[in-house]
Structure 1
Amino acid sequence: MTTLPDASVAVILPAAGSGQRFGDQSNKLFAPLAGRPLWTHAAETLLRRDEVSCLWLAVSPGDREQLEEQAAMLSRPDKIHFVNGGAERSDSVAAALDAVAQAAEASIQWVAVHDAARPLLRAEDVSSVLACAAHTRAAILATPVTGTLKRGARDQSACQTLDRRGIWVAQTPQVFSLDLLRQAYASHRGRPATDDAELVERTGHPVALVAGAADNLKITYPEDLAVAEALLQSRTHLS
């Protein structure tokens, strides 16, 4: 299996969002999960990788001091850097990407973008998506849709069943060669995009899908924390 060389990956965690659906005035990334801030779980998983040279958090200026204090408690705080994010997720990634490009050593050839609110990232899934990106230059974790899909009318008075064959739900990390992702963002021009893979697709470069664990969920609502807590406990019991 093709692998990436050590210390060749810069990780970007967009962490400047307000998390309004979470229903809390503070950043949801500060919410406790298994006794630790939510965002630190995935960050720790990624910091332990030999391939990861640095981790950039794109943050709101008002959250920066608290995040810096929390980062100091992780295993490799020397790898963690901060940059001010923007109003949209793409703005935050772009700011971090610029910082990576300006500070990057010659060894950094890859960028992995991960949702800071996905705490249950599995090490084996990171290995799989990095290995795929090593020979495709663009790969993302995803899971196939298993439920029945419906498209509802605007007033929800009727629905239409959709064919779910070949439909996947995108996850993160999304891993790209540094030059390819910079090219995608240079061509972005503010057009809406739901993830970085969509921007890369617009350049004409294919993005490979790597099947990831279904429990790599994104914390969006308060009840998601209870689910994540239960999943973490089950992992502990199985290990």
Structure 2
Amino acid sequence: MADAQPSSLSSGCVAVILPAAGRSRRFAAAGEKKVFATLGDRPVWQHAVECLRRRPEIGPVVIAIAAEDRQQWESQRTTLDALGVTLCEGGRERSDSVRNGLEQVGDCSLVAIHDAARPLVPEEDIEAVIATAQRCGAALLATPVRATLKRVSADAASCQTLDRQGVWEALTPQVFHTTVLRQAYQRWQGRAVTDDAQLVERSGHPVRIVSGSAINMKITHPEDLRIAAALLNT
């Protein structure tokens, strides 16, 4: 786990890509995708971007979207422009969306990948993971697994308890030197991964862990909105 020092990076040197082309299969609230769901008085994606925009290091922000959602995104053009957000075409897999986003970030020295469905990431966590990535080349926010873990049989008739020692849950943002992430994508093109740190790990580059807050939750199920709303109002 890294002890991050306060960031002294120049303003706007970190580009952000938010993959938002997923189908939200587990979020079935009246057919609405989770990134568009209302949290407080704003959509979830807007909260996520506003959290990032609190840091002066954040420069270009790119959201990778599904073609089928283009009209809904364009209906929010005023807000997108006010937040300095560019839209790009997403892909079938998350990695496809990030790869497309990488073509839009220009010459920023660092790039952060953040879930558009994480609307509550604390500013101090963003600062810490950026500072660590600047020093080490690759870093991600994570939190230790607190619950007891079970491996369940296919028919759910039996289970085994897993050792959670040293097991952490990955959060976002995940931040990389832009060249490190681009090289990882070039080397492992077409490989299925669940996050960008996995690609970088496979490329042989160590990824540092920065302890993050459990408040940085991901909206996955409709009930998560109620939890997020309670946290937003505390």
- TM value normalised by structure 2: 0.92
1:237 is matched with: none
- Report which structure shows greater RCO (CA 8 Å, sep ≥6): 2
After the TM superposition, which residues 33-182 of structure 1 pair with which residues of structure 2 at under 5 Å, given as runs? 33-70=39-76, 72-73=78-79, 76-77=82-83, 79-100=84-105, 104-105=106-107, 108-182=108-182
Question: Aligned equivalents of 1:156 and 1:65: distance in 2?
Answer: 42
Deviations 1:142-162 (A, max 9, x none): 000111111112222221111
1:11 is matched with: 16
The answer on whether the counterparts of 2:149 and 2:163 sit within 8 Å (CA) in structure 1 is yes
Q: Aligned-pair distance for 1:50?
A: 1.1
The one-letter code matched in structure 2 to 1:6 is S
Question: Aligned equivalents of 1:209 and 1:70: distance in 2?
Answer: 35
The answer on whether the counterparts of 2:55 and 2:127 sit within 8 Å (CA) in structure 1 is no
Distance verdict in 2 for CA 1:64–1:47, change over 3 Å: farther
Unmatched segments (≥5 aa) in structure 1: 235-239
The answer on whether the counterparts of 1:117 and 1:219 sit within 8 Å (CA) in structure 2 is yes
2:209 is matched with: 209
The answer on whether the counterparts of 1:11 and 1:55 sit within 8 Å (CA) in structure 2 is yes
Q: Aligned-pair distance for 1:41?
A: 0.3
The answer on whether the counterparts of 1:47 and 1:55 sit within 8 Å (CA) in structure 2 is no
Is residue 26 from structure 1 mapped to residue 38 from structure 2 by the alignment?
no
Partner-residue secondary structure (3-state), 1:174: strand
Q: Aligned-pair distance for 1:67?
A: 2.1
Q: Aligned-pair distance for 1:74?
A: 6.0
Question: Aligned equivalents of 1:74 and 1:124: distance in 2?
Answer: 24
The answer on whether the counterparts of 2:17 and 2:112 sit within 8 Å (CA) in structure 1 is yes
The answer on whether the counterparts of 1:56 and 1:96 sit within 8 Å (CA) in structure 2 is yes
Give the paired residue count: 228
The one-letter code matched in structure 2 to 1:43 is V
Question: Aligned equivalents of 1:171 and 1:62: distance in 2?
Answer: 27
Deviations 1:86-135 (A, max 9, x none): 111111111001222xxx14xx1000000000011110110111111111
Question: Aligned equivalents of 1:99 and 1:126: distance in 2?
Answer: 21
Q: Which runs of 4+ in 1 moved over 6 A?
A: none
The answer on whether the counterparts of 2:6 and 2:128 sit within 8 Å (CA) in structure 1 is no
Question: Aligned equivalents of 1:99 and 1:111: distance in 2?
Answer: 11
The one-letter code matched in structure 1 to 2:177 is S
Question: Aligned equivalents of 1:31 and 1:187: distance in 2?
Answer: 36
Question: Aligned equivalents of 2:80 and 2:40: distance in 1?
Answer: 15
Q: Which has the higher helix share?
A: 1
Q: Aligned-pair distance for 1:10?
A: 0.4
Unmatched segments (≥5 aa) in structure 2: none
Question: Aligned equivalents of 1:74 and 1:82: distance in 2?
Answer: 9
Q: Aligned-pair distance for 1:69?
A: 3.8
Question: Aligned equivalents of 2:17 and 2:73: distance in 1?
Answer: 15
Identity of aligned residues (%): 51
- TM value normalised by structure 1: 0.91
Partner-residue secondary structure (3-state), 1:218: coil
